[in-house]
Structures are given as structure tokens and as C-alpha cells.
């Protein structure tokens, strides 16, 4: 039996139907694959993205904002979507285990991820979030709280926030205790709520954590055997969508870094997944990272997907 951290993308949850029921249906399908994997004898911790969900929540908050109903800050919105998606996953997994008469406890916890307040991204925020504004509207919004707005591909101005490198799972001892008790744990949703430490106090910040890097930090904290990053394709490809496109099956850290340097992977898509995988396995011969689709999850032990190894 091995311990696996599974990272499920927020875009995979919100594919085409943004409704409550639409997203629950996608998660219900994902839960079947996760339970298949568990029934193969694997221990699992699940984390998930929340990019489109937190974006929609910010739009809803802006549309309904007034003096008596002010919009919540970003750290609270991350926590809110972490809770809602965690509930969907928890409910779907419990129901799927019950259908199969498998005795397995499932719990989701709101998780904080400590980041470094000196992280360079706080000085040069680049991650766009929330609604589009005209230049004049962006100026008004910026005067309210000092938020930074940048023009986004000719579509208007959007608020940009930092995306610092995750440093530590604040609740790592609680997560470890749950795992030791055999409880399938859902945590670090949306990359976790980003917080900085001020003395012995934790303070939420206007930032977003990359889900894949937070999953890597989580996997390290619990000493997982595998980090599994689920995406929309069965394998990593080089020369993607070109006539000479090639699926990668097993690659070393050195090979992965070579492909990165050759520019095969897009910064906003596959690149952070591969960088997280490389960081998890390098200098650890007993660790593996796998990038594949949710449909391939149950076949990982048979070599499905792209496996990154440290040798």
C-alpha cells in the first residue's frame, strides 16, 4: 500500500456547466475513479484547484456588493470555495463508498498554507482575478484599497495579485493524524488559504497559491510515495499539437528539465505541473510523480500516464 496525494484541477471540475449541479456531476464522476484507486489498495489524500470557482464567486460578490453587503476579501473567498468544493468531494466520495459497501471515512478540512511575505511576487503581482473594469473604474477601485490593476489582452483591466511559492501546510499535524487513522482527507483546496506569519499569528493575504505546488508541499509534509496531478490529457506531450507530437511515459528529472528549457510547456498550463513533479522527486529515488487524466487514475500502477522519477 502506498500513500498518494492526488491533485484535481479546478478547471476539470468546472468544464462547461458552471451550475451547482453541473459541478457536482463532474465531481461524482471523479469520485468513482478515486474510489476505484482506493479499492486497488491505495491510501489517498485529495486536494483540488478552485480557479474558475473563486473567479465566479468574486463576480457574484461584486454584482451584489453594497454598504450593508460588502464583498469578502480574497483569502475569505479562497476559504469559501475550498469549503464548497471540499463538501462536494466529501459527499460524492462518501456516497460512492456506500454504494460499494466499503467502510471508509472521508473528511474535508479548510487548510491554510504559509507563504513568505518577502516572496518577490508580492512586489510584482501578475495573477489576474475577478471582473474586468474600464480604465476609469479600475482607478476608482485601486483608490479604495491600493489594489493593482493591469490591462488584460485588450478586454479591460483586472485586479492582479501575488502567487507566492507555498512554504508550509499550517495544519500538517492534523492532516497527518487523519491519514494515520486511515481517513481519506481532502485538504489544501484551491492551493490552500495563503497566510503569512507575524510573530505567533497567522494573517490572510490577498494572494493565490498554485494548486500543484501546494500539493507538492502537502506530499512532502506527509511523506507521500506518489504525487499524482490530474489534468485533461492522459500524458505529457512534447511538440504538443504538432505533427511530431510525442507522449512521454517515464522521464527523469534531467529529461524533464531539458524539455522545460526547450520551451515545450506553457507557463499557465502544463509547466507548473511538471515543475511541481520535478521538485517532489528530485533527490528522492523512492518517490514518483505521475501526471495523467482522471480516467487513467486506476491504471497508474500499470504504467499509465507520465511518470517523473528522480534518477
Query: Active-site residue among 24, 159, 216, 273?
Result: 273
Catalytic status, residue 11:
yes
String of DSSP letters for 98-138: HHTT----EEE---EEE--TT-GGGTS--EEEEEEE-HHHH
* Cβ pair 186, 108 in contact under 8 A: yes
Query: Active-site residue among 24, 159, 211, 298?
Result: 211
Catalytic status, residue 10:
yes
String of DSSP letters for 174-207: HHHHHHHTT-EEE-SGGG-EEEEEETTEEEE-SB
Question: How far apart are alpha carbons 230 and 290 in whole angstroms?
Answer: 8
Radius of gyration of the chain (CA): 20
DSSP conformational letter for 71: P
Q: Quick check: helix, strand or coil at residue 45?
A: strand
Catalytic status, residue 127:
yes
Dihedral (CA of 187, 197, 71, 136) sign: negative
31 closest CA partner among 100, 105, 118, 90: 90
Query: Active-site residue among 4, 55, 86, 127?
Result: 127
Phi/psi-derived region of residue 188, left when phi > 0, alpha when psi is between -120 and 50, beta in every other case: left
Dmax of the chain from CA atoms?
59
Known catalytic residues are 10-11, 127, 211, 273
Amino acid at each position: 500500500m502506498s500513500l498518494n496525494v492526488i491533485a484535481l484541477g479546478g478547471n476539470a471540475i468546472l468544464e462547461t456547466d458552471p451550475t451547482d449541479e453541473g459541478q457536482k456531476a463532474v465531481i461524482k464522476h471523479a469520485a468513482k475513479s478515486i474510489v476505484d484507486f482506493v479499492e486497488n489498495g491505495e491510501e489517498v489524500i485529495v486536494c483540488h484547484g478552485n480557479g474558475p470557482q473563486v473567479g465566479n464567486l468574486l463576480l457574484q460578490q461584486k454584482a451584489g456588493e453594497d454598504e450593508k453587503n460588502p464583498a469578502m476579501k480574497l483569502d475569505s473567498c479562497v476559504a469559501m470555495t475550498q469549503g464548497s468544493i471540499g463538501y462536494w468531494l466529501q459527499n460524492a466520495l462518501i456516497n460512492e463508498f456506500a454504494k460499494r459497501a466499503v467502510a471508509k471515512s472521508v473528511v474535508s478540512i479548510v487548510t491554510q498554507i504559509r507563504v513568505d511575505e518577502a516572496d518577490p511576487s508580492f512586489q510584482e503581482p501578475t495573477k489576474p482575478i475577478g471582473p474586468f473594469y474600464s480604465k476609469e473604474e479600475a482607478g476608482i477601485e485601486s483608490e479604495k484599497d491600493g489594489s493593482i490593476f493591469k490591462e488584460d489582452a485588450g478586454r479591460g483591466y483586472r485586479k492582479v495579485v501575488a502567487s507566492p511559492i507555498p512554504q508550509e501546510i499550517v495544519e500538517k499535524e492534523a492532516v497527518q493524524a487523519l491519514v494515520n487513522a486511515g481517513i481519506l482527507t481532502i485538504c489544501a483546496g484551491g492551493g490552500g488559504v495563503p497566510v503569512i506569519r507575524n510573530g505567533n499569528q497567522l494573517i490572510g493575504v490577498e494572494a493565490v497559491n498554485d494548486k500543484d505546488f501546494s500539493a507538492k508541499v502537502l506530499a512532502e509534509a506527509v511523506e507521500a510515495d506518489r504525487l499524482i496531478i490530474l489534468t485533461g490529457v492522459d500524458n505529457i506531450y512534447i511538440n504538443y499539437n504538432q505533427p511530431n507530437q510525442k507522449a512521454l511515459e517515464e522521464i527523469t528529472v534531467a529529461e524533464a528539465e531539458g524539455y522545460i528549457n526547450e520551451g515545450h510547456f506553457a507557463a499557465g498550463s502544463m509547466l507548473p505541473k511538471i515543475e511541481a513533479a520535478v521538485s517532489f522527486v528530485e533527490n528522492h529515488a523512492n518517490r514518483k510523480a505521475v501526471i495523467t487524466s482522471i480516467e487513467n487514475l486506476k491504471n497508474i500502477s500499470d504504467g499509465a500516464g507520465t511518470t517523473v522519477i528522480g534518477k
